[in-house]
Amino acid sequence: MSAVAPSRTFDVSGTSKVPFSRLVSVEMRKMADTRAGLWLLSIIGLITIAVIVIFFFVTSGNADDRTFINFLNITSTPLGFLLPVLGILLVTGEWGQRTTLTTFALEPSRMKVIAAKTVAALVYGVATLLLAVLVAAVAASIGGATDAWGGDEIVESAKMLLVIVMSILQGVAFGLVVLNSAGAIVLFFVLPIAFNLVANLWGWLNERAMWLDLATAQTPLLGMDPATGMPLSGNLTGEQWLNLASVTALWIVVPFVIGLVRVQRAEMK
């Protein structure tokens, strides 16, 4: 047998850490390289287009409703349902399939991996907003409304972006806390319903809903006054911003921190 010169020596001096941008692009790929993930991304895109098209046709008798802002805001409801699921699955997909064993073997910093997942989900969220803005703009241009571009489109788009970012972060946070796809999705949808049920029976809670309930606090972002249900536009009042900060702390920051601690301490099996 010919002797082989030892070529495999452990020497890390010439190696740098895995760059964060690379982790983000890998996490984005992970969302799209399974059937379930690809379906979810496709559905998010298709539904965004579909609700605008449907709104276009149901307003055929009243073309003045076909404003850019109306088209954009109509996408908020389906996106509010679907984007959190994307955030949840990006986290829980790993735990359910136990691919964390490989993921954390290649990048031992769990915080970096979670950060990369969060950024990846946000990139998809921004891409979805761009799609919604594009389709809404096309619909408004051909809709025939006399004042299709009458509002402050930039401000309304920014508010929509904030709703999307909050939805995704909440999804990631719930995913981190539960670490199980089905459980996190159920909790995400059931908790607000439970809150409303309790609030209906308990006046004290109902009066403080704008401080405690995410959906109530978000309604001004979607162009509606939470108290009166009347259309609302322009910037939020100071109190409405504080409402948003309150629900963000309660529904996003707290679960996110609990989830991070849980992941940091969890044993990978």
Partner 1 sequence: MISVQGLTKTYGGFTAVDDVSFTAEPGRVTGFLGPNGAGKTTTMRVLTGLTTASRGTATIGGMRYSDIPNPGLHVGVLLDASAQHAGRTGREVLTLSAKVMGLPARRVDEMLELVSLTGSESKRRVRNYSLGMRQRLGIANALLGDPSVLVLDEPANGLDPAGIHWMRGLLKTFADQGGTVLLSSHLLHEVEIIADEMVMIGNGRIVAQGTKQDMLAQAGGHGCFVTAEDGAQLRRALDGSGLAYAQAGEGFRVEAQPVQVGRLAVQAGIVLMDLRAADGGLERLFLELTAPTQREQLTEGAQA
**CB 247 to partner 1: min, Å:** 34
Q: How far apart are CA 269 and CA 261, in angstroms?
A: 17
CA-atom Rg of the chain in angstroms = 22
Rounded CA-CA distance 187/199 in Å is: 18
Query: Is 99 near partner 1 (CB under 8 A)?
Result: yes
- For partner 1, the closer CB: 69 or 113: 113
Burial class (CB in 10 A: 0-12, 13-18, 19+), 83: buried
| 91 contacts 114 by C-beta, under 8 angstroms | yes
Does position 119 interact with partner 1 (CB under 8 A)? The reply is no
Region binding partner 1 by CB under 8 A among candidate stretches 13-21, 143-151, 177-185, 202-210: 13-21
> What letter does residue 148 receive in the DSSP assignment?
T
Question: Minimum distance between the CB of residue 126 and partner 1, rounded to whole angstroms?
Answer: 22
Q: Any contact of residue 268 with partner 1 (CB under 8 A)?
A: yes
Residue numbers 68-97 binding partner 1 by CB under 8 A: 93, 97
104 binding partner 1? (CB under 8 A): yes
Interaction between residue 26 and partner 1 (CB under 8 A): yes
CB of 110 to partner 1, least distance (A): 10
* 203 is a site residue for partner 1 (CB under 8 A): no
Q: Which residue of 11, 61, 201, 230 would you call a contact of partner 1, by CB under 8 A? A: 11
Q: How many CB atoms lie within 10 A of CB 10?
A: 4
160 within 8 A of 73, measured Cβ to Cβ: yes
Cα angle for residues 216, 222, 226 (degrees, 5° grid): 35
Look at residues 160, 184, 149 and name the one whose alpha carbon lies nearest to residue 255. 184
Of 30, 66, 117, 159, the one binding partner 1 (CB under 8 A) is 30
Site residues, partner 1 (CB under 8 A): 4-12, 15-18, 22-23, 25-26, 29-30, 33-36, 93, 97-99, 101-102, 104-109, 267-268
